[in-house]
Amino acid sequence: MADTYKRAVFVGPKQIRFDDVPVPHPGPRQVVVKVKACALCTWEQRMYTGEEHFYPLAGGHEVAGELVEVGTQVYTDAKIGDRVMAGPLTRCGYCESCRRGLDNICDNSFKRFRDTDVPGPAGLAEYILLEDYQLYKAGNDVSFEEISLSEPVACVMRSIRQANLQRGDDVVILGAGIMGLLHVTLAKMASTRVIVSEPNPERAAFARKMGADDIIDPLNEDFVERVKALTGGRGANHLFTAVSIASAVEQAVAAAAKGGRIAVYASIHPKPAKITIDPNPFHGKEITLTGTMSQDKEDVRQAVKMISAGLIDLKPFISLTLPLEKLEEGLQAALRPDTYRVIMTM
């Protein structure tokens, strides 16, 4: 094993530095993973453009690699050399949120970011030090690129799991980026009818290919009227907003059926944002407006298991893979509307 390794740090808008840092060794309840793939999420893209600023940041939270060293008190059936997924969130286990079963929004998760010299999940690097509970054993015959997508799949797993879809339900997904499309994939697995709203014609065509039953072009069609027309006038049972635009939430509320549920999946930018909605449907139609954030340990477990068993095909979402040194090129590609996930490899 080398003595030092390369780690990318976001130091300012459009500024990335590569540090050489000593290869870590695990404490009793930690493991070290040799990173093989790290996908570029919207969060890292926003750090790169400066839309969000949290500098310096050791970014990279969609991580797959090979287990190289295990602490003396780690109890796992993963062996050295096995393919693993690095659970992205650090959680404390004892805050009010963790104890309520909401470890996806642990009160201390940001305080517990791994690297003390540079905060952040630190997956855009050749090695990563993890707490034992962050280690998820994956299948050894699945690619590292696909394993790295366990994190976005787990986020959508949570979104879909919380919605409790019933077979035959009418589901509307607003936005056909990768997160919207992963909603399509998982909602189709739940035997629902899926309608996608997406203005970009290429993305709309890809959504159709990925299983969407109907497409709405919200720029040229009346979204609410189209949802009603497609659902016998009732509206949709479930609507998921996978776009960062506040008006999408207003539209989703207006298109919900009686007893319908609207989930704000994507964060709305710029922050803070505002929506204006008539509160009467919450009363008269008993609709629910809610949302989800990240993923808990059960969502990650399910995602890694599905990917490892080949139950979900993620290859269509991998637009480009590049070596870590080409991170800037990767981020620029990730920002283009014609890419779904760009993955850095090590």
Under the rule (CB under 5 A), what is the footprint of Zn ion?
A: 41, 91-92, 95, 98, 106, 108, 151
Structure tokens at 165: 């879809």
Taking the C-alpha atoms of residue 23 and residue 16, their distance in angstroms, rounded to an integer, is 20
Separation in Å, CA 280 to CA 54, 101, 219, 258: 40, 32, 27, 12
Supply the minimum distance, in Å, between the C-beta of residue 54 and Zn ion. Answer: 15
- Residue closer to Zn ion, measured from CB, 100 or 167: 100
Task: Say if residues 332 and 16 touch (Cβ distance below 8 Å).
Answer: no
Taking the C-alpha atoms of residue 200 and residue 9, their distance in angstroms, rounded to an integer, is 33
Supply the minimum distance, in Å, between the C-beta of residue 153 and Zn ion. Answer: 10
- Residue closer to Zn ion, measured from CB, 41 or 130: 41
The C-alpha angle with vertex 307 and arms to 303 and 309, in degrees rounded to 5, equals 120
Task: Kindly report the backbone phi and psi dihedral angles of residue 116, in degrees, each rounded to the nearest multiple of 5, phi listed first.
Answer: -80, -30
- Residue closer to Zn ion, measured from CB, 178 or 254: 178
Supply the minimum distance, in Å, between the C-beta of residue 217 and Zn ion. Answer: 28
For residue 323, give the H/E element and its range: strand 318-323
Q: HSE (CB half, 13 Å, CA atoms) of 336?
A: 11
Supply the minimum distance, in Å, between the C-beta of residue 279 and Zn ion. Answer: 33
Supply the minimum distance, in Å, between the C-beta of residue 50 and Zn ion. Answer: 19
Task: Say if residues 52 and 64 touch (Cβ distance below 8 Å).
Answer: no
- Residue closer to Zn ion, measured from CB, 91 or 193: 91
- Residue closer to Zn ion, measured from CB, 42 or 251: 42
Supply the minimum distance, in Å, between the C-beta of residue 115 and Zn ion. Answer: 18
- Residue closer to Zn ion, measured from CB, 260 or 330: 330
Taking the C-alpha atoms of residue 37 and residue 59, their distance in angstroms, rounded to an integer, is 13
